[in-house]
Amino acid sequence: MSNTLRKLDLNLLVTLEALLLEHNVTRAAERLNLSQSSVSIQLAKLRDVFKDPLLLPGPRGMRPTARAEELREPLRQALDALERAVLPASPFDPAISNKVWCVAASDYSESTILLPVLIGLRSAAPGTQLAVLEIVPSNIVKQTGDGKIDLAFHVSEEAPADLHCRLLFMEQYVLVGRVDHPCLGKRPTLSQFCKFEHVIVSPDGGGFYGVTDRALSELGLKRQIVLSVPHFLFLRAVLENTDMVAMMPSRLVRGISSLQIVEPPIDVPGFEMVMLWHERLHRDPAHRWLREHIVNSV
């Protein structure tokens, strides 16, 4: 920023624009709702800033100098831009928007949050686009801060403290197997549960230990995990085609006729799903609309 701009009162530029329009101090003062003496004082300051008389006496009012004529159009554009910048944010109209949103989600969040959101989103905001990126929890703060993603969906216990956070729902685990599984006709005992062949989802890859195993270890027990997969989609296919079982979030298996849901013989802590976003978008009308749409859809 130049030294001239640093020491310049922006109100002086408003006065200069009025003088260039009216070519008369009295009429400029009336336009600005100021006294004639105030406008004369401001004109003196403008002459000092620009090192030019700017307006000279003429037979029919004041006549702009060549420097003033040079300033006329850039001054008008600059003041128009400033006025647009300080106006209150315009309301967001989803029906006419062509906004592009980018969110970060796991395959679990895609199925339980984004899928329920999509139908209403396409109906309410048909001109918008939604990009879904695979979530990398360690990058959430940087990606939201850099503007690479607008929202992230994650578990509350791992939510970064410096992001805005809103609870979407509480999830619980259920025991799941294929619909005609020979051992899931009723709730199994703990002993039977531990002997089943279990599948576990390990987002980081290759893990064979989770919240269920932690709960079992507190009782001095251990289950038999025979398969670790990175995604819930493959897990569903495994369950439908084998006698393996899995502890799964309940929202993932709602309404799936090929799978059977049984209450597990052990209490496993559930988790909270939250929506995360950066302060830079907290008051943005379009972003606020999207957040409310998601909350009302899940």
pLDDT tens-place string over residues 119-170:
999 999 999 999 999 999 999 999 999 899 999 999 999 999 999 999 999 9
Q: What pLDDT band is residue 203 in, cutting at 50, 70 and 90? A: confident
Task: Answer whether 243's CB lies under 8 Å from 177's CB.
Answer: yes
What domains appear along the chain, each with residue ranges and CATH number? 3-86 (1.10.10.10), 100-170+273-297 (3.40.190.10), 173-269 (3.40.190.10)
Position 6 pLDDT exceeds 70: no
Per mean pLDDT, which range of 182-186, 271-275, 290-294 is the poorest?
Answer: 182-186
Q: What is the DSSP letter of 7?
A: T
How far apart are alpha carbons 26 and 40 in whole angstroms? 9
Q: What pLDDT band is residue 1 in, cutting at 50, 70 and 90? A: very low
- The region that residue 207 occupies, defined by phi over 0 for left and psi between -120 and 50 for alpha, beta otherwise, is beta
Q: What is the DSSP letter of 83?
A: H
Q: What is the pLDDT of the chain when averaged over all its residues?
A: 91
The amino acid occupying position 212 is T
Q: What pLDDT band is residue 111 in, cutting at 50, 70 and 90? A: very high
The amino acid occupying position 267 is D
Q: What pLDDT band is residue 57 in, cutting at 50, 70 and 90? A: confident
Q: What pLDDT band is residue 193 in, cutting at 50, 70 and 90? A: very high
How far apart are alpha carbons 25 and 48 in whole angstroms? 17
Position 88 pLDDT exceeds 90: no
How far apart are alpha carbons 144 and 159 in whole angstroms? 13
Instruction: Name which residue leads in pLDDT, 242 or 1.
Output: 242
Q: Is 225 exposed, middle or buried (0-12, 13-18, 19+ CB in 10 A)?
A: buried
How far apart are alpha carbons 278 and 288 in whole angstroms? 12
Rg (CA), the chain: 32
Average pLDDT of span 186-206: 91
Q: What is the DSSP letter of 279?
A: G
Task: Answer whether 274's CB lies under 8 Å from 293's CB.
Answer: no
Partners of residue 151 on adjacent β-strands? 103
Q: What is the DSSP letter of 250?
A: G
Strands 271-277, 164-171: parallel, antiparallel or unpaired by DSSP? antiparallel
Position 246 pLDDT exceeds 90: yes
Q: Of 164, 106, 193, 107, nearest to 281 (Cα)? A: 164
Per mean pLDDT, which range of 15-24, 82-91, 156-165 is the poorest?
Answer: 82-91
- The region that residue 231 occupies, defined by phi over 0 for left and psi between -120 and 50 for alpha, beta otherwise, is beta
